[in-house]
Chain A
Amino acid sequence: MAILNVQGVCKDFGGLRALNQVNLKVQQGTVHAIIGPNGAGKSTLLNCFVGRITPDTGSVTFDGKSLLGIQPHEINQAGVARVFQTPEIFADLSLVENVKIPAFAKRDGSFRMDLWSRVGTHGEITDHAEAVLEDVGLADKLHMHAGSLSRGDKRRLELAMCLVQDPKLLLLDEPTAGMSRADTNATIDLLQRIGERGITKIVIEHDMTVVFTLAHTISVLAQGTVIAEGEPEAIKGNPKVQEAYLGGAHL
């Protein structure tokens, strides 16, 4: 069953066509990678899923509901969480607070004016937040300032912030960009472990090792259009992909 269904999405930026008739079906419980050369429209496409950009035409349905014309927070409440290319975290807050906040959003909805209870008395939120942080390997830094983390740790933290919400769909925008080999491998491990929980994921990635290790399905985007889609092995051998994306070089 397709949990995310993208039909005929187009988006122009001042006469420049960023997305052109994009069709995409993401199957429940799978890891779906979107690859393509720089400027192919990958991030733009992801932005259409979280309400940052509204497509000019086309439809985006998630879990049977349209995602178009609704606010980013409503999309999140519907079960879509996103990891950004540059980690978006709460730099002034502690790690555990960073994770508690999305946990509150999941439990209490998009607005609740609870200005009397103490955060600390919500034991199940605290437990859950700390468990997830342990999961991503940040258990020893619970009370550190998030802003003082290394770039790799910030990504891990952001991932924890998404995981604590137990989303139906997780969007990962270049989760290993700028990471060392060791960090990349750790991230792959982590993503594989999450994979076992059955969260559907869409991954944008340049690192082919990551893509071919994780993905069940790969869509190749070039100049705003999906030029190929299929299982990793099929994509590897697809001459059209090699032409457009790899400039003819072999994988």
Chain B
Amino acid sequence: MSAATIDSPGNQKAVAPSANDGGSSRADHIKFLIFALAVLTMPIWLSPIGAAYPDLVQKFAIFGILAIGFNILFGLTGYLSFGHAAFLGVGSYAAVWSFKLLTMNIVPAILFGVLAGGVFALLIGYVSLRRTGIYFSILTLAFAQMSYNLAYSVLTPITNGETGLQLALHDPRILDGPAGAGLPSTNLFGMLTVGYTGFYVCAVMLILAYYLAMRIRRSPFGMALRAIKSNQNRMNYTGFNTRPYTLAAFVISGMYAGLAGSLMAVVDPLAGAERMQWTASGEVVLMTILGGSGTLLGPVLGAGIIKYFENIFSAFNDQVLGRIFDFLPEGLQEAAVVLFSPFVGEGWHLTLGVVFMLIVIFLPGGVMEGVARIKARFDRSRSDTAR
């Protein structure tokens, strides 16, 4: 017994699982099952709020994956990347090329998308992670902008520039055999992945992505990432080589983005450079913060909330507003329409900006913190009445 115990009396006490150490395995798995069930039944329970159509639920799943991956880097490790959209774009391009050259089967497309995201993240991460703080943010931003600009200019043979990369009739598709009359559709071993099938592909991927993120979070690797976020200096003096840890987190995060990008191509087989622009990187930051960075569920919630309201709000116009405020008397109704119209339709981003500021100012932990606060208050009032 070398280093194991020093003064032994401490050894006799029972080892209680603690909330701080990440909850019990059982609780995690119950949460995971609920999550999986909720994701798979989205088309049902989202229909009362008018969100149950394939295009939108696909987006929830895809951006959920993107945000989960981003959170591994930002929420766990504490590195704020402003260039994450680059990996999304690369994943999309890789998937579409797989559709063009190999086969319309989505399995290789997804694999190539993840791989491309990972390799690209390895290259960018290797250089960017030499710095921390805002220097790191600017470096990732610089790389993403370079990728975006190049995709629009000299890389046109690969990206097809402004038009975007699309399928064509004369694409080789060497594994698929002779082409039919029209453009083929993406499929999973023959099963067409359009509409709800496409959604279920994305949903399964989201569930897997969540499960992996959960395992990472509870693992020694994940604990090391959280420690790096908390105090990187101490990590070095504690015998950890933090570079491979941060690089691994960066690459994993890039692979998640690559996966999300390839799924975008699965449900709609084209890829454009605008997916790589830094505003798109900003969007995933917003999602993660809004939902609650550092939490497992938060980023998925954030992605869902933003995509849902983007969809609802941007469809609003003055007539719709007028109908909503129908219950008000004449003058007030018009006033309400005038007051709210800058926030909807084209002005949806204004709402997003305002909400985002409010979140950062008053609720830095995002929706998850809000839920926790309400729960705490509820528990307190319940124990008060019980007394």
Indicate whether A and B are direct neighbours in the complex (CB within 8 Å): yes
Stretch of A7-15, A124-132, A226-234 contacting B (4+ beta carbons < 8 Å): A124-132
Q: Which of B5, B13, B237 contacts A50 (CB 8 A)?
A: B237
Stretch of B212-220, B282-290, B318-326, B367-375 contacting A (4+ beta carbons < 8 Å): B212-220
Give the distance to chain A from B251, nearest Cβ to Cβ, in Å: 11
- C-alpha spacing A112/B219, complex, angstroms: 11
Q: Are B223 and A117 in contact (CB under 8 A)?
A: no
Stretch of A16-24, A34-42, A54-62, A71-79 contacting B (4+ beta carbons < 8 Å): A71-79
Could you list which residues of chain B lie within 8 angstroms of chain A, going by C-beta atoms? 2-11, 13, 15, 17-22, 24-25, 215-216, 218-224, 226-227, 229-231, 233-242, 244-245, 248
Whether A244 sits at the interface, judged by CB under 8 Å, is: no
Q: Are A89 and B234 in contact (CB under 8 A)?
A: yes
Query: What is the predominant secondary structure among interface residues of chain B facing chain A?
Result: helix
Q: Chain A contacts of B226 at CB under 8 A?
A: 90, 92-93, 97
Give the distance to chain B from A130, nearest Cβ to Cβ, in Å: 6
Known: A76-B236, A88-B237, A130-B15. 9 other contacts (CB 8 A): A73-B235, A81-B238, A88-B233, A102-B239, A104-B223, A111-B241, A112-B220, A166-B2, A193-B7
A-B residue pairs, 8 tightest by C-beta: A134-B10, A166-B3, A131-B10, A94-B20, A76-B239, A105-B239, A110-B241, A115-B221
Give the distance to chain A from B123, nearest Cβ to Cβ, in Å: 19
A-B contact pairs, 9 of them (CB 8 A): A73-B241, A82-B237, A88-B233, A105-B239, A115-B219, A116-B215, A130-B15, A131-B6, A132-B10
Q: Chain A contacts of B244 at CB under 8 A?
A: 111, 113
Which of A50, A90, A115, A143 has the most B CB atoms < 10 Å from its CB? A115
Whether A153 sits at the interface, judged by CB under 8 Å, is: no
Say yes or no: A76-B238 contact (C-beta < 8 A), given A101-B223, A115-B221, A116-B219: yes
Q: Are B15 and A113 in contact (CB under 8 A)?
A: no
- C-alpha spacing A108/B245, complex, angstroms: 13
Beta-carbon nearest neighbor of A123 in chain B: B15
Q: Are A119 and B223 in contact (CB under 8 A)?
A: yes
Q: Are B230 and A93 in contact (CB under 8 A)?
A: yes
Whether A221 sits at the interface, judged by CB under 8 Å, is: no
Which of A82, A90, A114, A139 has the most B CB atoms < 10 Å from its CB? A90
Q: Are B3 and A128 in contact (CB under 8 A)?
A: yes
Give the distance to chain B from A86, nearest Cβ to Cβ, in Å: 11
Q: Chain B contacts of A130 at CB under 8 A?
A: 10, 13, 15
Beta-carbon nearest neighbor of A94 in chain B: B20
Beta-carbon nearest neighbor of B11 in chain A: A131
- C-alpha spacing A110/B239, complex, angstroms: 6
Q: Which of B2, B18, B220, B233 contacts A142 (CB 8 A)?
A: B18
